[in-house]
């Protein structure tokens, strides 16, 4: 399949033809994101940039990620913050060529929430607890929440989460569309794969280009849409898929 993830210690990676599943696997600390996990996520991104596939992120032992590793955070200083250890890898995840699905159970707090916010889709369970309690620890959510969360749920709720420490339940996250659906914990990964199946039925190049255009700044439109459509209009998949559609439509 390409990259070798067998040496990973914080992620369990399962590869398929059209998708990769990465299990955050530090159950002894509720899958807290440490520097080693950030580095392994970077390596995973490198493989998916070279061989684009759908990515499903999930956690072990009924927890997505309880946050960044507090023991490491306590020892970090200004220069560590300026390195953007988590923010750089979350930005890379958000920019992966194919969609990213976060399957969220239990705690998705702090850096765990910010990792989820970097995904294109989030599926949760009723027992999900998601939010950003960083200010209670004397720091801020600096790995994407201050701008991604506002785009996802709107400014008033984002401020309540970031400034007042509100933690959303699964039902509350669904009500504000922070997650697109809820599944029972035992069926969470099935729901993520069902969504991946729907994405995989689309033309991969069309999905990749649509994701890239969607992320473009407002001033780039409509020119970027027109140029991207020009590329797709020349693709073999466009002719094959449209011909198949017309053949089905014209069958007696």
| Run of H or E including 70 | helix 70-75
**Is 186 annotated in the active site?**
no
* Candidate list 49, 50, 134, 151, residue with the active-site label: 134
* Candidate list 114, 151, 219, 247, residue with the active-site label: 114
Contact of 85 with 35, CB cutoff 8 Å: yes
Strands 121-124 and 11-15: unpaired
**Is 114 annotated in the active site?**
yes
Strands 129-131 and 167-169: antiparallel
Which of 166, 175, 182 lies closest to 122 in space, CA to CA? 182
* 99 alpha carbon, distance to own chain's centre: 8
Joined together, the tokens standing for residue 195 give 């969504």
- Which are the catalytic amino acids? 114, 134
């Amino acid at each position: 399949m390409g990259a070798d993830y067998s040496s990973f210690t914080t992620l369990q990676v399962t590869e398929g033809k059209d998708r990769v599943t990465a299990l955050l696997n530090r159950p002894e600390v509720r899958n807290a994101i440490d520097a080693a996990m950030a580095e392994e996520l970077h390596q995973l991104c490198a493989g998916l940039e070279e061989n684009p596939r759908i990515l499903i992120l999930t956690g072990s032992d009924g927890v997505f990620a309880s946050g960044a590793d507090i023991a490491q955070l306590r020892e970090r200083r200004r220069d560590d913050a300026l390195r953007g250890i988590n923010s750089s890898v979350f930005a890379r995840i958000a920019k992966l060529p194919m969609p990213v699905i976060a399957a969220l159970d239990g705690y998705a707090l702090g850096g765990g929430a910010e990792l989820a916010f970097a995904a294109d889709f989030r599926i949760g369970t009723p027992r999900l607890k998601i939010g950003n309690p960083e200010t209670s620890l004397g720091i801020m959510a600096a790995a994407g929440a201050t701008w991604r969360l506002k785009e996802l749920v709107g400014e008033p709720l984002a401020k309540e989460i970031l400034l007042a420490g509100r933690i959303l339940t699964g039902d509350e996250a669904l009500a504000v569309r922070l997650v697109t659906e809820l599944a029972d914990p035992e069926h969470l990964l099935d729901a993520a794969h069902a969504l991946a199946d729907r994405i995989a039925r689309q033309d991969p190049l069309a999905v990749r280009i649509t994701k890239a255009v969607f992320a473009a700044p407002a001033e780039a439109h409509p020119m970027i849409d027109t140029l991207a459509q020009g590329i797709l209009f020349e693709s073999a998949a466009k002719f094959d898929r449209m011909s198949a559609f017309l053949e089905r439509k014209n069958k007696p």
